[in-house]
Amino acid sequence: MILAVGWALVLVYGYPGQVTTESLEVLRAVRKNHPADVDPPMLYVLWKALEVVIAGPLGLFVVQVVTFSVGAWVILGRALSPRGAAWAATGLLVFPPILVPMAMIGTHSLMAGFLLLGAAGLLSERRGRRVAGVAALFAATAVHEAALVATLPLVIVVGQGLGPGSGPGSADRRGWTRPVIAVATWLAITAAALGANGALGARRSLDAFGDGDRSAMTERLLGVGDSRPDPMAALADRPTDTMLKRGVPPRTSELQDALVDGVRACARTPIFWPWIYLVVAVVLVPLARRQRDVLALLASGVLYELSLFATATSAEYPQSHWMIACTGVAAVVVVARRTRVA
């Protein structure tokens, strides 16, 4: 019920999913049955399936929110009571620096949700849930191929294999068996995701990720400079007739307008500066030196953020969504455990 409260708040804020120019183009391709026009094509497959149930962006919006909150709840439950974890997950979900990209329909939010859900599954001692976690990491990589950088620490640091006795609470395997299984698992996830997109006619490969706009990325990370983007700048304007025909209704609530305006007012405050979360992540590492779940999240978030300097072709705020989410979840877990010990 507590998670449902968070879902309701996010739904009021973002209904039916805040669309960008890019997401509108994807929706156009879905409606015209043109998978080759969507990059990556697996995003087309997912949205096409959701269109059968819910027309427009709402289905994808629900998937983004539910995967993120459930994944966060499960991970936080390793340090908090179920009720406390639910409140903490809800708090993170509505935290503006996380809420803004989460309400946008796009691959960054979708990737973050699947990654958290995958991490939660890998950390389970039940084989079925670990397999489900691997499936979620496959989905994350399939809808956003750069996620392969983020999945690597999650699989390697947690040390998951899918054989007997490989759960986090089981006795450690000696020698090379566990690392080999972990690397093989990551390679299988990556190859399957890239292969699925390739089979559907992906228009780019890893070589086409771009050389990286390092100057713009640095300014975005530090929150300085003329190229620093408005975190909400990617949003399309109020729905036009064309958007309405594609299933994107206009806002009908003054409450929603007030919430959006309130978040927009703080969008350029320090809480939206990614470098703060990068620093916090680094500080948390020595505090969590014996906590594999926290170290896996921190390594995943930081490595993904650093990879953007080499791969990103633009400097958009949603690109830092995964690092900010990892830092937030890790910080709550570390504080909860240290408080409990004290």
DSSP secondary-structure letter at 249? P
Pick the residue with more confidence: 170 or 146?
146
Share of the chain above pLDDT 90, in %: 49
Q: What stretches of 131-229 adopt beta strand conformation (E)?
A: none
Share of the chain above pLDDT 70, in %: 78
Residue 206 has pLDDT above 60, yes or no: no
Residue 153 has pLDDT above 80, yes or no: yes
Confidence of residue 289 (pLDDT cuts 50, 70, 90): confident
Instruction: Quote the mean pLDDT of the chain.
Output: 82
Q: What is residue 161's predicted lDDT score, i.e. its pLDDT?
A: 41
Confidence of residue 154 (pLDDT cuts 50, 70, 90): very high
Residue 326 has pLDDT above 90, yes or no: yes
Could you report how far apart the first and last alpha carbons of the chain are, in Å? 30
Q: What is residue 39's predicted lDDT score, i.e. its pLDDT?
A: 84
Cα dihedral 265/266/267/270 (nearest 10): 150
DSSP secondary-structure letter at 203? S
Confidence of residue 166 (pLDDT cuts 50, 70, 90): very low
pTM: 0.84
CA separation for the pair 152, 299 (Å, rounded): 9
CA separation for the pair 111, 322 (Å, rounded): 8
CA separation for the pair 110, 139 (Å, rounded): 9
**pLDDT of 233-286, one tens digit each?**
544 444 444 443 444 445 557 788 888 888 888 877 899 888 999 999 999 999
Domain residue extents for the chain: 2-209+236-268, 210-232+269-342
Quick one: average pLDDT of 201-230?
50
Q: What is residue 138's predicted lDDT score, i.e. its pLDDT?
A: 97
Contacts of 183 (CB under 8 A, 6+ apart): 155, 156
Write 236-240 long-range contacts (CB < 8 A, 24+).
236/19, 236/20, 236/21, 236/24
Which tokens hold the place of 341? 């010990």
Q: What is residue 164's predicted lDDT score, i.e. its pLDDT?
A: 41
CB 293 within 8 A of CB 168: yes
Question: DSSP letters along 184-200, please?
Answer: HHHHHHHHHHHHHHHHT
Confidence of residue 340 (pLDDT cuts 50, 70, 90): confident
Number of other CB atoms surrounding residue 306 within 10 Å? 14
Confidence of residue 215 (pLDDT cuts 50, 70, 90): low
Residue 79 has pLDDT above 70, yes or no: yes
Confidence of residue 231 (pLDDT cuts 50, 70, 90): low
Q: Which residue has the tokens 């072709």?
A: 313
**pLDDT of 113-135, one tens digit each?**
999 999 999 999 898 999 999 99
CB 86 within 8 A of CB 7: no
